[in-house]
Structure 1
Amino acid sequence: MLSELVPGSYARSNPRIEPPGAVVVVTGGARGIGAEIARQFAEAEATVWIGDVDADVAADTAGVIDGARSAVLDVTDAVSWREFVSKVLDECGRIDILVNNAGVMPVGAFLEESEATADLILDVNVRGMLNGMRAVLPSMLGEGRGHIVNIASMAGMLPLPGMVSYNASKFAAYGASLAARREYDGTGVTVSAILPAAVRTELASGADLGGVLPTVDPQDVARAVVRTVRTRAARTSVPGWVLPGWSIADLFVPESVERVARTLAGHGQALALDAAERSAYLARIARQASDHAAGGHSGGTVVDGAVVDSAGTSEVRAR
């Protein structure tokens, strides 16, 4: 029992998974963070499966990554998950690592956000992650080993203006990750949450990143994901100092002081996007949001993508 108190004992108590030869699933892997995660796992000699609703782009991405394959996946659809997982299991026999990366990040005034936009946020960021865990857990538990990495966000701990629904979704993703980690403790299956700050991706066009949150590159997030295979850490922020820094500030800094600091840091960037810089991108993605609202779910796994609803609310993912 005392040995469990030694740092690193949790990782050592679970079956090792070495990246070389591992079968890795990355959702939303066609672009941005997901594509970089897939590339880094492939460079570590893993067999990588990219699941994305944009099948053509996913196939193009897989085509330039050695050891990568792709298949269509709508994370909001349980049937799509079953078909995707069955394909991976039929060809590879197992899934060692799942990276729930697919996500959308709407920003803008809460009262101007349509129900369709709120539905998309919750369907992709919360239900999509839960669907993914539910789809792979039976086979992982059967093998007695497996690792799930959920890409949450520092927005799962740090609330920001213009991100009410997104904050809600990422608080949920973070909480679900920790709860699943506890529920499956002792089974050989581990769950880790990654909490990036603002990420420089295509989706960030027109956004003034930084301020309250530092900015990082997709490569930084991918490295943190790969590292959890060794550490099995419960939570990892990117950069690493942000999580402990915010935890200390939230615990000890009075709200009056925090309000002044937030104002000085410019914490309202999510309410001040440059729509002109994003117009072409938003127009392309708006169709996917409309299809999702109509029940087609074709916008369900837009990653590093943007959505515009009828009120003009824009969506930008900066994690």
Structure 2
Amino acid sequence: MKPSAVADKVVAITGGARGIGLATATVLQGLGAKVAIGDIDRVAVKESSSQLGLQVGRRLDVTDRRSFTDFLDAVEERLGPLDVLINNAGVIAVGSAVDEADAITRRLLDVNIYGVILGTKLASQRMLPRGHGHVINIASLASVVPTEGIATYCATKHAVLGYTDTVRMENRGSGVHFSAIMPTLTNTEMIDGVGHAKGLRNAEPNDVARAVAAVIAKPKPRVPVPPSIGRVVAGQRLMPQRMREAMGRALGTDRVFTSDVEVDQRKNYARRTGTS
């Protein structure tokens, strides 16, 4: 990709201290963007922003309007008018849907849905009067593919996709773009200790980061990562539901977040994200 496609754009990234967020910050900065990161982990965001030499890297609670507003204010004060917001912050909980603690359910809904909606609104309110901008929401392949063991996560990502599509339609012709990135399983701490389906390759954070850079350069409504998984899913959706689910069981997708999970390997993530 030509650096000029994103060069000098002011980009704010939530959940930017690690994983997909940090990879995206690194790629976009390398392409000449003015990048800011926010993250709930104060120590991690300080370390990551220092590592990249960013002017803005601060604690951000995406579920709190004042925290989010202060973050975007700091971005615009230090870097200029916001061109792109990437709503990347998200959490996952693994286990039985009916046995999931209410506090964990609420945590996923607050971060994955409310945080994305809040960020979209706050960014759009700045972008729409200017007639340009781009809100990129990190959804998931789980936005369109129900997966056993992560029911609430799937519900939140279905919501992210539906919300992003609807806001895009409401603001057609405004000059502000709205995109959903839909990665398959990506090798970050979020999937520590989970299983693996036959014949399916996990994505890397840099794969998602490059997809984000590409959609900034050329806006699209939905972007599966990798592109090949989008074609597979599209083909499966033409099948009868029973056949589609049977194919998933044959590949072992029903075990990835259930019987194949190594619970001990997930303890650190669950503790850090408040999903234990």
Structure 2 length normalisation: TM-score? 0.93
Give the number of equivalent residue pairs.
Answer: 271
- One-letter code aligned to 1:234: P
Q: Tell me the C-alpha RMSD between the 2 structures.
A: 1.7
The 1:236/1:283 distance shift into structure 2, 3 A limit, reads closer
In the alignment, does 2:265 pair up with 1:277?
Answer: yes
> What SS does structure 2 have at the residue aligned with 1:147?
strand
Equivalent residues of 2:93, 2:270 under 8 A apart = no
**Paired position in structure 1 for 2:87:** 100
Q: Which one has the largest radius of gyration? A: 1
Equivalent residues of 1:212, 1:267 under 8 A apart = no
CA displacement at 1:66 relative to structure 2: 3.9
2:155 to 155, 168, 178: 168
Equivalent residues of 1:174, 1:193 under 8 A apart = yes
Counterparts of 2:5 and 2:270, CA distance in 1: 42
**Paired position in structure 1 for 2:47:** 60
Counterparts of 1:250 and 1:182, CA distance in 2: 23
CA displacement at 1:282 relative to structure 2: 4.4
1:209-248 matches, within 5 Å, as 209-211=196-198, 214-248=201-235
Q: Deviations over 1:44-84 (max 9, x none)?
A: 11111101111221111011114452011100111111111
In the alignment, does 2:124 pair up with 1:137?
Answer: yes
Equivalent residues of 1:102, 1:125 under 8 A apart = yes
1:149 to 123, 128, 136: 136
Structure 1 gap ranges (5+): 1-16, 290-306, 309-319
1:245-284 matches, within 5 Å, as 245-251=232-238, 253-268=239-254, 269-272=256-259, 273-279=261-267, 281-282=268-269, 284=271
Structure 2 gap ranges (5+): none
Equivalent residues of 2:60, 2:71 under 8 A apart = yes
The 1:23/1:283 distance shift into structure 2, 3 A limit, reads closer
- One-letter code aligned to 1:145: H
Equivalent residues of 1:22, 1:96 under 8 A apart = yes
Q: Deviations over 1:9-49 (max 9, x none)?
A: xxxxxxxx941111100000001110000001110111111
Counterparts of 1:89 and 1:130, CA distance in 2: 20
Q: Relative contact order: is structure 1 or structure 2 higher (C-alpha 8 Å, sep ≥ 6)?
A: 1
CA displacement at 1:283 relative to structure 2: 6.6
